[in-house]
Amino acid sequence: MGDLVQVETEEKEQKHSVLQGKYELGRVLGQGTFARVYHARNLQTGESVAMKVIPKEKLFKAGRSMVDQIKREISVMKSVKHPNIVELYEVMATKSKIYLAMELVRGGELFAKVKKGGRLDEDLARFYFSHLISAVDFCHSRGVYHRDLKLENLLLDDQGHLRITDFGLSTFLAERQDEEQMLHTSCGTPHYVAPEVVSRKAQGYQGSKADIWSCGVILFVLLAGYLPFHDDNLIRMYRKIYKGDFNCPPWFSSEASNLVTRMLDPNPCTRISIPQIKESAWYNINITSTAADPKPFPKLSHPDDEDEDDDEGKENGESSDKPFSVSKDKEEAAGKTLNAFHIISMSQGLDLSPLFDDKSREERQDMKFATAKPTSTVISRLKQVAAGKLKVLVKNKAKDGELLVKLRGQEDGRKGRLGIAARIYSVSPALQVVELNKDNGDTLEYNKFCDNYLRPALRDIVWTS
């Protein structure tokens, strides 16, 4: 690793240790297979950074390919400086570890926002998408192809602007040629990978075309709230990808459907290019933001941000347990009535959230049902369960027509006090939709409480056809 700055002394393995007399390491932000990311502070400037720590022993045990991957990631991140790409500040090394000091992005993953809040309205999706295309276009102009573009690798800064991260699977063709070089390494995430990468044809594939396909999948998810290609059987899913077998939902505008269809063209030769994307009708609808001059971003907020006992926001992709209000659909759902699409999206039988979630049904942290009983009956039943079992506090809050009931434990559990949020939406005087989520505390304790108390207590008021 000749391009790494060698640190003369090993840092102490303890919280708040000081690295090279320059960075004070703090709490852990996240952990992967080979690396751990810490919150760190530059003692000279006072600036907060994300410090990625990679043990050399794990790296070398993984083989030469993983060492080359880290080298490539460092080389790529040094070469791409763009407002919508997470910046690499500095690279250091000790005898046992490699340290990457990177820009600290505080807004979390775009994946978490969509997963919690559902599909986005087209204006907000266009805002994110324009940032994505701007950054990808810049990378391609420098001979860099990401090859693993997905929602989990798109972060949001504290102003809500998009940042691309994780260039571990990228490739860097330093010497640009008139005709783009063909790539042969099959890599990426199954749901987002292009058909020509899956097919592994001898002639290879173009990195730019593969990235555009992944951007098309991302745009589809932002607008639809679910993945365009999904199947429990991986082979069947790859067949769908290879054939471009998907359908745009009816709420897509004609311009959006046209753009997504051209991006998810299984033939890379006829697939739309980035210059054509920028000229498309949908991309240019009232678009006033650029990476250099972004328009104001609508705040992503939790309904109870004013509560003193709410958790702090998560940084550099660390997800939160709290649901965020992302889309207009969710904001409208907080009104006095819901339309058919809202009811469908909240229906247990048509819930599309498992497509984003590797967890089993028992591990998921939400419960939705419809009831013909009045709101007062639902609240009364919740109070009875709370008072009889957990001795929790019940707080009623009305916000934008949505009725929120909060059940909060008085005693600490494994991860603080158990909190449950119940949101009640009025479809009509004779039909209410209730959505319950874990608001705080341990997931196992929440699931146990739901199975033993909540579900039995609410069973007789749940509406069934």
Q: If you ran DSSP here, which 8-state letter would residue 109 be given? A: B
Residues 6+ apart with CB under 8 A from 235: none
C-alpha span between 242 and 201 (Å, rounded): 12
Contact 386, 445 (CB under 8 A): no
How do beta strands 88-93 and 5-6 pair?
parallel
Nearest to 77 by CA among 67, 90, 64, 68: 90
**Annotated catalytic, 148?**
yes
Q: How many residues does the chain have?
A: 465
Q: Count of alpha carbons within 13 Å of 66, Cβ hemisphere only?
A: 13
* CA-angle at 366, arms to 360 and 367, nearest 5°: 105
Contact 324, 301 (CB under 8 A): yes
Instruction: Looking at 280-374, list the stretches that DSSP marks H as alpha helix, in order from N- to C-terminal side.
Output: 328-333, 340-346
Nearest to 129 by CA among 32, 197, 211, 218: 218
C-alpha span between 230 and 237 (Å, rounded): 6
Contact 238, 192 (CB under 8 A): no
Per DSSP, the chain holds a count of helices (H) and strands (E) of 14, 18
Considering the candidates 3, 123, 137, 148, report the single residue annotated as catalytic. Answer: 148
Q: How far is CA 189 from the centre of its chain?
A: 14
Which residue matches tokens 């760190």?
40
Helix (H) or strand (E) holding 207: helix 207-224
Active-site positions read: 148
